[in-house]
Amino acid sequence: MLGQAVRLALSAVSARPLEPKPQSAFYTEPDVIPDEPGTILRSEPARFYIDPFRLVPAPARVERIMFVSRNRTGAPIAVTGTVLTPTRPRTKRADRGLVAFAVGTQGMGSQCAPSLQMAVGREYESVFISGLLARGYNVVVPDYQGLGMPGVHTYMSRRVQGHVVLDALRAAQNFDHPDIPRNGPVAITGYSQGGGAAASAAEMWHEYAPELDVRGAVAGAVPADLELTAWLLDGGPYFGFLGYAIAGIATDYGVDLHDFLNDKGREVIARITEQCLFESLRAYAFTKSATLTADGRPLGKLIGEEPLATLVREQRLGEGAWPRMDTMLVHSRLDDVVPFEAGRALAERWVRQGARVHFAPGVAPTHAAAALTSYSAAFRFLNARFAGRPMRANTARYLSTLAGPENG
């Protein structure tokens, strides 16, 4: 039943492709971008529909914002996003806190930005966002670099994604909204690409944005090791994710993929950088990357060699960095997109460096079903962190039995 429900929901969301088209004036890049991350550049009222028929508006006041963040090298960039504040009465606490929700894979085209998809009822993670609102949380949803704004989306670029999530929290607090105090408590969450962005933000917080009162971070299905993930995606139904990662990282580092790809490969990358998620899934499901490369080797081999190896290795989470706040990692053993071992190994790397982590392995079949079943754990984690209750870390298991036969 759950699998059928997921298929029906995704079918409704993906019924009509979002074609590339000129964006509204709001998404025009400003002539001057200030240096201070989190600075609000512009804002406007917006809409957020939960369903693709635009019959059910989310229970929130919705504001679209443009704010300052930083790219991989630290230069200021303009990024867009959405600030949501609940309209329902908050019966338990006047301020439940601010949550940055890092979205999962949206696609590569600028038209795929969450702020645009929410406005037309096509954001497939709207159920989780609405759940946060129903629990009284203020929410900020960043669009990431290259979504909404001009330029190629830097998909899976670790530092960029971490910067954008933390700067979205800064921007929401700088928005002068009466329900969002400037120095109030915040938290971070996300799943899949969003899990990677949330994990990166958690690692970077103490150095990049220490003024934020971050109470905790929860990250699901984190693609912490792109080399490991590439082999699972290649030739499978989610090949588009692998194409996104290669295109996004190569663009971010200024690497020309022309010499690595054959004519078909160059055509696929050119098309995929303008598509949204469901377009790419339909167009490139079960594609084998060896049919796209100049020498017939799969991408998993190519990214293990220079010059791509260093670029890909720099995206690996848990290498000399770890969260200084309570963190929960959620990952299904039966995930068919991000290998379970990628999340398990990240937990172990973090713990060995001194992090307090609660690892929550699951057995939900498929990546999509595991996302739905992870919601309740994420809500409980956030509720407890904002309430000031201590987290029970299960770190001893990571260092002793987690890698054993029982814990896989």
- Give 90-106 pLDDT, tens digit per residue: 655 555 799 999 999 99
d(CA 97, CA 137): 6
Question: What pLDDT sits at residue 92?
Answer: 55
Question: Looking at domain 226-313, which CATH architecture does it have?
Answer: Orthogonal Bundle (1.10)
Cα angle 166-167-171, degrees, rounded to a multiple of 5 = 125
**Average pLDDT for runs of 10 along the chain of length 408:** 36 44 81 97 96 93 98 98 88 74 98 97 96 95 97 96 98 93 96 98 98 98 97 97 97 94 97 97 97 97 94 96 97 97 95 94 96 96 95 71 40
Instruction: Measure Cα distances from 400 to 302, 319, 346, 354, 396 in Å.
Output: 34, 20, 15, 15, 6
Fold classified for 11-225+323-400:
Rossmann fold (3.40.50)
- Give 111-122 pLDDT, tens digit per residue: 999 999 999 999
Q: What tokens were used for 33?
A: 């971008």
Question: Do residues 332 and 362 lie in contact, with contact meaning Cβ atoms separated by under 8 Å?
Answer: yes
Q: Which residue in 334, 374, 371, 380 sits closest to 124, CA to CA? A: 371
d(CA 299, CA 195): 23
Q: Phi, psi at residue 318, to the nearest 5°?
A: 85, 10
Q: What tokens were used for 314?
A: 């720099």
Residue spans per domain, the chain: 11-225+323-400, 226-313
